[in-house]
Structure 1
Amino acid sequence: MKPVSEHPMDAFPVRPLQFQVEKIRSRDLVWSRTCPEFSMFINALGIHVPYFERYLVRALTKARTQIKDERLLRDISAIIGQEAHHAKNFIHLNQVLALRYPRVAQMEAAARDYFAEHAKKDSLRQLVGYTAGYETFTFLAGMIILQNYDRWFADSEPVIKAMWVWHQVEEVEHGAVAFEVYKHLYGDDELYRKRMVLKALAHIAGETIKAYTHMARVEGWLRNPFRGAVRLGFCGLMLLRLLKSALPVFRKDYHPRRHPLVTTQQNPIQIAWRRYESRGGDVLEIDRAKMARIMGVEPA
């Protein structure tokens, strides 16, 4: 058992976890009974993300040939390992989603082609800048989602819950790496970094809204115009929440390690999950009783 650092971004490990998403029944894909709209939002967000993660691997693999700092090189190796496992698991989940939502396969193919094409043609500056911009929001989503566990996750399908808790914990752990690579290589160009943050958010929003609307239509959520508007509004509010949480990112002295969500509101779930997993705890399925054990509280 390796000791768990107090700050989640210190010496984070690669965890080669494989989640059994094939066990999930089609009707359970709106997997949060606590907040169905959240499960729809995160399903929609996740369709294109594995292909960004492959783009990230390409970008940082290329960038590390220009870097000598040993600590940063160690963190680059760790983020590449984590993101490779994320992509593998979420591509598998996309296959399950496609069985219920007819357009998911088409959306996934478009995302795969988009990121594969850009991974080949983008300059190193574009690769690193866009990766840092995108990682801004995967990192922030990690903190926001874990902070709202009781509102969005408490009563939900155990395998998908476990996948997203794992994913969000690791997104927080490696949330500074792409930023530090960009600063190491192009530190003086703050304007370009900020442009890439906005470009990434625009792409995330477009892909998520498109998928969320399709899934909501399949589930029959749009038959009632009023209720449909409320449920579509949830997607918009989540994206606005991401934007609001990103405001510190535009400061000249910004660093992910010092983002208010990390420094002043350390999340007890990510701390407890990391400790539980490092001691050999099974984190591949999480129900209410398992979460109680993770948090060190006896189940009711």
Structure 2
Amino acid sequence: MTISSTPDGVSVKPRHLHFDVSEDLKNHWHGDDAFRTAFFNALSLQFPDGEQQFINAVRLYRDKIEDPKLRAEIRGFIGQEALHSREHKAYNEALKARGYDVDRLDRRFRKHMEWVGKLPPSRQLAGTCGAEHYTAVLANAILSHPEWLEGATPAMAQLWRWHAIEETEHKSVAFDVYCECVGNEHLRRIIFLFVTWNFFKYTFLNTCSLLKTDGKFWSIRTWVGGFNFLWGKPGILRKCLPEFLAYFRKGFHPWQQDNRALLEKNLKELDAGGLA
């Protein structure tokens, strides 16, 4: 019996791409806006250790999966996440070269990830499903609203778009493994609360640290602009709230947000650049 829910026409295969963004990261690459740049950079700081934990959590259950389609998608998921981790490590090294205290921020987040890695496997996998939901919803938003990256340098816009495409492709893989091997709806929702707290906590702390280094932490103008970007207009997090909260719905599944057409559109647009 096939237990994979990845729709026909969606391929979970890693793309061996490299993005040299070291020059872009020497400046405020997102339209010369300190807050927008810091917000996306803050997300990047969490990816290498976070995505390695996603891989580890899914591997704990890999041998229990008999469905050949899902087994192949697990291999694709691991490959995609490993490449995301590699590219964001290089991204974060460029931030370090600019003068940000990336080592300190890494230590803080790595300590949390080490704690997560000691949890029972079911909780680790539930946490991965919750974190993957956040990345999937944000990925859909980036692909749906290219204007949210308007003003970004071409290389940075392509990197984030590539990441969003692959997060969309594999958004149900960990969830399908969870449904097959754990299937505890109550645990899924409870762990999502902890994931939500930590996702926003570390994103906020990292953003503050980066802005402090930039000398923008006490700038009211910077924070007003940042609040509008996230919660006002365009309000990227505000617009994502309904999809974030959908995770609490009974019978929720990632592909209830069927964005295959959006995925195909973005792949076609970037095909000339060698992405697809």
1:109 matches 2:124: no
The residue type equivalent to 1:197 in the other structure is: F
1:180 matches 2:176: yes
Over residues 75-105 of structure 1, what are the superposed CA-to-partner deviations in whole Å (9 max), with x where a residue is unaligned? 1111100000000000111111123353322
Alignment-derived partner of residue 61 in structure 1: 59
1:219 matches 2:217: no
Alignment-derived partner of residue 76 in structure 1: 74
1:153 matches 2:149: yes
The residue type equivalent to 1:198 in the other structure is: L
| Alpha carbons 2:34, 2:211 under 8 Å: kept | no
| Alpha carbons 1:205, 1:239 under 8 Å: kept | no
Alignment-derived partner of residue 227 in structure 2: 233
The residue type equivalent to 2:246 in the other structure is: P
* Number of aligned residues: 267
Alignment-derived partner of residue 199 in structure 1: 194
1:20 matches 2:20: yes
Q: Name the stretch that deviates more: 172-181 or 209-218.
A: 209-218
Structure 1 residues 157 and 201: alpha-carbon distance in aligned structure 2, compared to 1, 3 A threshold: same
Distance 1:10 1:236 in 2: 30
Distance 1:218 1:8 in 2: 47
Structure 1 residues 74 and 199: alpha-carbon distance in aligned structure 2, compared to 1, 3 A threshold: same
Distance 1:229 1:63 in 2: 43
Alignment-derived partner of residue 275 in structure 1: 268
1:125 matches 2:122: yes
Percent of residue pairs bearing the same amino acid type: 25
Over residues 10-29 of structure 1, what are the superposed CA-to-partner deviations in whole Å (9 max), with x where a residue is unaligned? 232211111112333512xx
TM-score normalized with structure 1 length: 0.80
Distance 1:58 1:172 in 2: 20
The residue type equivalent to 1:272 in the other structure is: K
CA deviation after TM superposition for structure 1 residue 266, in Å: 4.2
The residue type equivalent to 2:254 in the other structure is: P
TM-score normalized with structure 2 length: 0.86
CA deviation after TM superposition for structure 1 residue 272, in Å: 3.1
Q: Which runs of 5+ in 2 are unaligned?
A: 1-5
Structure 1 residues 133 and 35: alpha-carbon distance in aligned structure 2, compared to 1, 3 A threshold: same
Structure 1 residues 7 and 33: alpha-carbon distance in aligned structure 2, compared to 1, 3 A threshold: farther
| Alpha carbons 2:25, 2:95 under 8 Å: kept | no
The residue type equivalent to 1:233 in the other structure is: F
Q: Which runs of 5+ in 1 are unaligned?
A: 1-5, 285-293, 295-300
Distance 1:74 1:68 in 2: 10
CA deviation after TM superposition for structure 1 residue 240, in Å: 4.8
Please provide the CA RMSD for this pair.
Answer: 2.6
